[in-house]
Amino acid sequence: MLSKRAKYAIKTILFLKDRPEGKPISAKVISENENIPYKFLENILRELRTHRLIKSIRGSEGGYVLAKDPSEISIAQIMRIVDGPIALIPCISEKFYEACAECEDEQTCRIRKMFAEVRAEMVPILERPITAMDKEA
Amino acid sequence: MLSKRAKYAIKTILFLKDRPEGKPISAKVISENENIPYKFLENILRELRTHRLIKSIRGSEGGYVLAKDPSEISIAQIMRIVDGPIALIPCISEKFYEACAECEDEQTCRIRKMFAEVRAEMVPILERPITAMDKEA
DNA sequence: TATTATTCATACCTGTTTGATATGATATAT
DNA sequence: ATATATCATATCAAACAGGTATGAATAATA
Ligand code: FES
Ligand code: FES
């Protein structure tokens, strides 16, 4: 299941994508429109900023804008930033690799082989640009 | 990420699938061979049994056997039994539906639409029979 | 029938994660 | 100056994950 963090993050990115560029949107506005707890949202926004998905403008009249074209942002990116690995098992994750304690030999592990295939088919689904996913019906 | 429960459950199913039918396999044997904590495994086995994936034979010389043909068992089934929903958001899950508190209108929610598509593409991957996934290389 | 090997059931425990809040500093347009 | 923002860190309660403890029930077999 997707964490609230990830869900809120995706909602935030979509919200920013909808606004005309140039005018920064404040955390308060996002929070009220998307029903996201204000302080929790601030945390998420900071995380998205440090990972260069959004830019912030400080001070009065400040706020946030996308740091890249929406066509270059995917659900996978957002999930990795706020939730960590997408892979279903740690020994397969590329960005967050970790060995499996209870498996004798990673090279011959059947579970690992199964999930390598799952991952290979799953990641492209999540890596599509949000502009392709978020179509008007 | 897959929980340990799910991983252990899948390992167990594969282990049983490998054994010639007829002779039940004890929890102890599974535990030792797959490096799964014994008592934890007992919990998982019970869960798999109540959901009719395996059958148990009590008493001395007892143990567990698959309750259906391996070609009728999928990763998705196992995951649903031990971990719950596969869908990334609750408002999409068929077996574990729950409304999203912070979304105004489920019918028009864009996140929901996006993840409905993700789900539609993801579930078939996980619903393939384990006999198809677990090939000898 | 006593023993042993096993499943079955329930309850409990501990550390981590999740979702969220509190407090306050810093920056900037007006 | 003041109001409006972001930025940073710390804290917290509840839920969850992973695992353990205790013991009852069942059945093969010596
Ligand atoms: S090595 Fe990772 S699942 Fe076996
Ligand atoms: S209704 Fe479930 S994500 Fe919006």
Task: For B43-102, write each residue's pLDDT tens digit.
Answer: 999 999 999 999 999 999 999 999 999 999 999 999 999 999 999 999 999 889 999 989
**Option in A34, A89, A134 nearest B2 (CB):** A89
Residue of B43, B53, B50 lying closest to B8 (CA atoms): B43
Count the residues in chain A. Answer: 137
pLDDT of residue A58: 97
**Spatial distance between the Cα atoms of B62 and B27, rounded to a whole number of angstroms:** 9
Domains of chain B (ranges, CATH numbers): 4-66 (1.10.10.10), 85-136 (no CATH)
Residue type, B112: R
User: In tens digits, what is the pLDDT along chain A, a chain of 137 residues?
Assistant: 999 999 999 999 999 999 977 899 999 999 999 999 999 999 999 999 999 999 999 999 999 999 999 999 999 999 999 999 999 999 999 888 999 988 989 999 999 999 999 999 999 999 999 999 997 54
**Spatial distance between the Cα atoms of A103 and B11, rounded to a whole number of angstroms:** 10
**Option in A7, A88, A113 nearest B111 (CB):** A7
Residue B42 has pLDDT above 80, yes or no: yes
Quickly list DSSP for chain B. ---HHHHHHHHHHHHHHHSPTTS-B-HHHHHHHHT--HHHHHHHHHHHHHTTSEEEE-STT-EEEESS-GGG-BHHHHHHHHH---SSSTTT-SSS----TT-S-TTT-HHHHHHHHHHHHHHHHHTSBHHHHS---
Average pLDDT, chain B: 95
Q: Which residues on chain B are in Cβ contact (under 8 Å) with A35?
A: 101-104
